[in-house]
Structure 1
Amino acid sequence: MNHLYKYAVLFVFSIVLGFAFNMFLLPHEVLTGGVTGLAMVFGLLSPINAGIWLVILNIPILIIGWMKVGKEFIWNSIFSVFTTSISMQYIPVMKITDDALLSAVFGGVIAGISIGFIIRFYGSTGGFDVIGLVLTQKRDIPLGGLIFGLNSIVVFVSGFIFAWDLALYTMASIYITGIVIDRVHTRHIKLNLMVVTNRGQEVKDELLGNLIRGVTVMDGQGGYSNTERKVLYTVISRYELAIVKSLISSVDPKAFVSVSETVEVVGNFRRS
């Protein structure tokens, strides 16, 4: 039932994402960020639907992710990308409103809600989401700056090919989408992670082997059962949350995991 529920959520919000693209953004030549934005550019400039370009551009990225990130996450991402692509074949490209700014705002909000829930249920829309998880695993790269730069390419392409006012609408749409994703998925880029588990060594090894983060291990005791347990503490970025939950679940499905926002980190923290 858990798997059925997860795929039902991924299916519904992948279709809603296609609705946001075809009903709000594409009719006004307003783009979204990342690889999806590039797919929209190619779809507007060629007779091939943007949904098909979305699959084509994501194929090499998903292959790399399959080898580097994990099969469950990439399989969920493939499911989401293909569902969005197919929905874009059948949802007509038509204007809900003639106001491009309104379309950029509401399209960005709907896209942000959809992507936020897709990420929350351990999937992605491919593209920069997968690239981000691959890079944050082993490399100390400022991911926020990297994604901003890649999204800026989409904005400049929109300006040069279409019009600069549409490029500004694209920038607004990308910004709104990012804010809504953070609200739906997790509000802050840095997160406190605490894990209480009977398999402390295995969980620690799994986290250290797949992340660039350090882990603090403490001894704990169950207040009711008096059972000795290990308490693991670390700080991660929001891009790592989906893979971390999967790693912990694969080692100890009964582990107690607490995730909370952190206002500031001082010291040796790699800011991916």
Structure 2
Amino acid sequence: MQYIRLYSYVISKLEQEIPGHITYHNFQHTLTVLENAVAIAEKENMTEDEKILLKTAALLHDVGFIKNHLNHEMLSCEFAKTHLPDFDYSAKEIVLICEMIMATKLPQTPKNKMSEILCDADLYYLGGEEYELYANQLFEEFKNTGILKTRDAWQRRQIDFMKEHRYFTKSVQEERNRKKNENTTILEEKIKQLPKNLRTAENFQEIFSAVCGIIIAAFALNSFLVPNHFFDGGITGLSLLVHELYHLNLALVIILFNLPLIIISYFTIGSNFAKKTFLSVLFLGIYLWQLPSFHITHDKLIVAVFGGTFLGIGVGMVMRAGAALDGIEVLALYTLKRTSFTITEIILGINIIIFSIAALQFGIETSLYSVLTYFCATRTIDYVVEGIRAYTGVTIISAKSEEIKHQLVNSLGRGITVYKGERGFLPGRYDVSSDCDIIFTVITRLEMRKLKNLISEIDPEAFVFANTIKEASGGIIKTRAKH
């Protein structure tokens, strides 16, 4: 093994060919890992032959960054297999070196002592005084390569990573664990300062969304539904019905009908939701009372479609703020615990009663147009609350699954599930197949184009198919809002 000649060749290559935007995994990092590996090997009583193999693996472990930051461990192994025979390394020795290099891939998976030493040498800085310096370099590299964009996201990711990470060799554990825990604690203290500012921005967004929603809902009621004696479903529809039958003040009726349900929600859902809903309903009543009515049109179809749409926009925006303008869902949840009916069935039953009374008192035509109003409002609420973020399940089958997995997790920030399968079995070549990873992930509708472009750049021949997710729970999927 001609290690000295290999060292000169590789360091020169790293120094000249590592891209400038790679601010952490550069030739200096390789030198540092090499130095750490030698120091740990001395403490772990490795033989001279083992030390040479270890130093070779440390020298080559990030050489793949010359070609690409994606899947660089595999590229480093390809470099080793191509060039090490020229420096008198045997096939067996190259296999051992590649095993060490692949062990450094996160999450680290060392299977022997030499691999454990290289893994510890690679992440030695986590438990050192120099942690912040190296962490900043890595953050800049992640920003340059599009893996992360904000320091907040970086710090949260580092905390999770450092809590899950462990050193493998006894000497490094004794030397570095205490300081690594201190570095983790410092990061946690820094992250505690962020939520105050972030929460202020979130509160402003919620208040803005709720106020806009209340105004739009009040506009829909005052300018479309009330002047034309149209109805909606839920508590709003019941309030409109009572208003038309007994000529009571609509603002007062809406507040009074929602008040008992808000009290129930305080105990069944939570105080925060109840408080937000009470304020939203109260301000809706004030706006209905204070805002002037504009009789925009008496065309029944326009009133049904646009009245329902504007009402849906308003209700949806309030829902996005974490509140409700209609207590029908609370009533359905309360009734659900005492009957065998589903929430949908309960809401449907209440609305059938409302529209049936409307048909008897104001005619079938008005009732049917009111059903159309309710339909438009419901569809619009779905879109406002979750339409832009509608989730799609995507399955990807590709020969370059490793690179695609890396990009999905680090560029799109999505979790993935991997199934083991076989690809091939084409007409005329049925006997030709190969093992592959079948990747499944869940993305938003707006991310679909970005995902397709990302996969196309890596593997234009990848097989990709998507399906809309109708119902899901857990993970990042949010509960569907009902009206």
TM tier, shorter chain?
0.5 to 0.7
Equivalences for residues 50-199 of structure 1 within 5 A: 50-134=250-334, 141-187=341-387
CA contact (8 A) 2:223 2:296 kept: yes
Equivalences for residues 230-249 of structure 1 within 5 A: none
Alpha-carbon distance between aligned partners in 2 of 1:141 and 1:115, rounded to the nearest angstrom: 25
Higher relative contact order (CA 8 A, sep 6+): 1
Residue matched to 2:243: 43
Alpha-carbon distance between aligned partners in 2 of 1:28 and 1:84, rounded to the nearest angstrom: 20
Q: Rg: which structure is higher? A: 2
Report the alpha carbon displacement of residue 114 of structure 1 after superposing the two structures with TM: 1.1
Count of matched residue positions in the alignment of Structure 1 and Structure 2: 204
Report the alpha carbon displacement of residue 58 of structure 1 after superposing the two structures with TM: 0.9
CA contact (8 A) 2:329 2:347 kept: no
Q: What does the per-residue CA deviation read over 1:211-253, in whole Å, with 9 as the maximum and x for residues that have no partner?
A: xxxxxxxxxxxx99xxxxxx9xxxxxxxxxxxxxxxxxxxxxx
Report the alpha carbon displacement of residue 54 of structure 1 after superposing the two structures with TM: 0.3
Q: Report whether the alignment pairs 1:262 with 2:464.
A: no
Alpha-carbon distance between aligned partners in 1 of 2:383 and 2:355, rounded to the nearest angstrom: 23
Residue matched to 2:222: 22
Alpha-carbon distance between aligned partners in 2 of 1:259 and 1:64, rounded to the nearest angstrom: 35
Q: What does the per-residue CA deviation read over 1:33-54, in whole Å, with 9 as the maximum and x for residues that have no partner?
A: 1111111111122342111100
CA contact (8 A) 1:124 1:130 kept: no
Relative to structure 1, the CA distance from residue 186 to residue 91 in structure 2 (aligned partners, 3 Å threshold; closer, same or farther) is: same
Residue matched to 1:250: none
Alpha-carbon distance between aligned partners in 2 of 1:191 and 1:124, rounded to the nearest angstrom: 23
Alpha-carbon distance between aligned partners in 2 of 1:136 and 1:186, rounded to the nearest angstrom: 24
Report the alpha carbon displacement of residue 99 of structure 1 after superposing the two structures with TM: 0.7
Structure 2 unaligned segments of length 5 or more: list them.
1-199, 393-408, 416-441, 445-467, 473-481
Report the alpha carbon displacement of residue 57 of structure 1 after superposing the two structures with TM: 0.7
Report the alpha carbon displacement of residue 23 of structure 1 after superposing the two structures with TM: 0.3
CA contact (8 A) 2:307 2:373 kept: yes
Alpha-carbon distance between aligned partners in 1 of 2:257 and 2:280, rounded to the nearest angstrom: 14
Structure 1 unaligned segments of length 5 or more: list them.
193-222, 225-230, 232-257, 266-271
CA contact (8 A) 1:62 1:126 kept: no
Report the alpha carbon displacement of residue 263 of structure 1 after superposing the two structures with TM: 3.8
Q: What does the per-residue CA deviation read over 1:40-95, in whole Å, with 9 as the maximum and x for residues that have no partner?
A: 11112234211110011111111111111001111111111111111111223442
* TM-score (structure 2 length as normaliser): 0.39
* TM-score (structure 1 length as normaliser): 0.67
CA contact (8 A) 1:109 1:176 kept: yes
Q: Percent identity among equivalent residues? A: 25
Local SS of the residue matching 1:185 = helix
Q: What does the per-residue CA deviation read over 1:97-140, in whole Å, with 9 as the maximum and x for residues that have no partner?
A: 12122111100001111111111121101321323455678986
Alignment-mate amino acid for residue 469 of structure 2: T
CA contact (8 A) 2:216 2:313 kept: no
Report the alpha carbon displacement of residue 12 of structure 1 after superposing the two structures with TM: 1.8
Relative to structure 1, the CA distance from residue 3 to residue 184 in structure 2 (aligned partners, 3 Å threshold; closer, same or farther) is: same
Alignment-mate amino acid for residue 239 of structure 2: A
Residue matched to 1:220: none
Alpha-carbon distance between aligned partners in 1 of 2:308 and 2:296, rounded to the nearest angstrom: 14
Alpha-carbon distance between aligned partners in 1 of 2:273 and 2:337, rounded to the nearest angstrom: 14
Q: Report whether the alignment pairs 1:12 with 2:215.
A: no
Relative to structure 1, the CA distance from residue 16 to residue 144 in structure 2 (aligned partners, 3 Å threshold; closer, same or farther) is: same
Alpha-carbon distance between aligned partners in 2 of 1:29 and 1:52, rounded to the nearest angstrom: 18
State which drifts further: 52-61 or 117-126: 117-126
Relative to structure 1, the CA distance from residue 91 to residue 76 in structure 2 (aligned partners, 3 Å threshold; closer, same or farther) is: same
Alpha-carbon distance between aligned partners in 2 of 1:88 and 1:33, rounded to the nearest angstrom: 18
Alpha-carbon distance between aligned partners in 2 of 1:93 and 1:191, rounded to the nearest angstrom: 39
Alignment-mate amino acid for residue 57 of structure 1: F
Residue matched to 1:3: 203
